[in-house]
Amino acid sequence: MRIAIMGQAAFGAKVLETLTDSGEEVIAAWLPQGKQGGKPDPLRVVADSRKIPVYQPESYKSPDTLREFRALKPDLLIMAFVTDIIPLPLVESPSQGAICYHPSLLPRHRGGSAINWALIMGDKETGLSIFWPDAGIDTGPVLLQKRVPIGPEDTTGSLYFDRLFPLGVEAIAESVSLIKAGQAPRLVQDERLATYEPLCNDAVAGIDWGKPVETVHNLIRGCDPQPGAYAFLRGNKVRFFEAGLASGKHAGAPGEVTAADAKSFTVAAPGGAIRIGKVRTEKGKQDAAAFAAEAGLKPGDSFTAA
């Protein structure tokens, strides 16, 4: 089966590596549109090392791009970490269609920040879906899903790199085997269960210290490592990372620093306090304790919302 892989970064590279190592015929790698120059994408590096042709069009909407893609006569398109909007005629070109990786249990958490929102919303479980893309955003029939628990200290980074990345590569390989065997399901998504959230950026990453401590904690870990949930100290933006719910009782007004020691500092929110392990400011990322010492942070000081 002639396979084209579309994607980027370490995930796209690992998918290509895994499929070629297992003997699959990967005929081309397609990179994000219009991003020539700079450091080579890991998918390109792996494709080049295995003498697999690489394509990076100026636009996926171009008729020339569609003609070039169809000329390869692919049987299957695998969309591994694709951030561009790919026109339906291209998606439908391969004889076996296209499959796409999405890091949530569709139809929950459609959109480009699925892992972030599973944490921000306090989900206890998430997973990944391999689905057949259609004209909608993450709306196509599901081929298979894998589930993973969300631990109380998980972040977006730990969920992705420790579980959803390796499990996703395995799921794509499993999906290819099912397609080759003619046993790949097309399970229609239940629209009654669908949610769609916006990209997780600074528009949603500002901390409201007046919300329950669990809600604030979920926001911080959902924005870790990007974009970093933030508040202000004396007018300066501070982003928080490696957060955990503090043990014991912490009396303090919302946003008030209740303790600072050699490893971290804690900030109060209704129902408890949050221990902060690292911060990032305009000077860069540093340990919370080093930041506290540098900023003269002490119990009684307060972080505020924008």
pLDDT digits (tens, 9 = 90+) for 10-24: 999 999 999 999 999
CATH number at residue 128: 3.40.50.170
- Please give the structure tokens belonging to residue 21: 């190592």
Tell me if 88 is assigned to some domain.
yes
- Co-location of 96 and 124 in the same domain: yes
- Rounded CA-CA distance 180/280 in Å is 48
- Co-location of 19 and 141 in the same domain: yes
Which amino acid makes up residue 111? G
Average pLDDT (50-61) is 97
pLDDT tens figures, 115-161: 999 999 999 999 999 999 999 999 999 999 999 999 999 999 999 99
- Co-location of 19 and 147 in the same domain: yes
pLDDT tens figures, 253-301: 999 999 998 889 999 999 999 999 999 999 999 999 999 999 999 999 9
Give the residue carrying structure tokens 């796209």: 12
- Co-location of 220 and 113 in the same domain: no
- Co-location of 144 and 216 in the same domain: no
CATH number at residue 227: 3.10.25.10
Tell me if 146 is assigned to some domain.
yes
Q: Which pLDDT belongs to residue 37?
A: 73
- Co-location of 141 and 216 in the same domain: no
Q: How confident is the model at residue 80 (pLDDT cuts 50, 70, 90)?
A: very high
- Rounded CA-CA distance 209/205 in Å is 12
- Co-location of 65 and 151 in the same domain: yes
Average pLDDT (171-200) is 98
Q: How confident is the model at residue 194 (pLDDT cuts 50, 70, 90)?
A: very high
Q: Which pLDDT belongs to residue 36?
A: 73
- In the chain, how many domains are there? 2
pLDDT of residue 250 exceeding 80, the answer is no
- Please give the structure tokens belonging to residue 79: 């969309």
Quote the mean pLDDT of the chain: 96
> 51: domain range?
2-193
- Rounded CA-CA distance 12/55 in Å is 14
Q: Are 250 and 268 in contact (CB under 8 A)?
A: yes
- Co-location of 138 and 277 in the same domain: no
Tell me if 303 is assigned to some domain.
no
Query: Beta-carbon neighbour count of residue 11 at 10 Å?
Result: 23
Tell me if 272 is assigned to some domain.
yes
Q: Can you point out the beta strands (E) in 235-291? A: 236-245, 257-260, 265-269, 272-281, 284-287
- Rounded CA-CA distance 2/95 in Å is 10
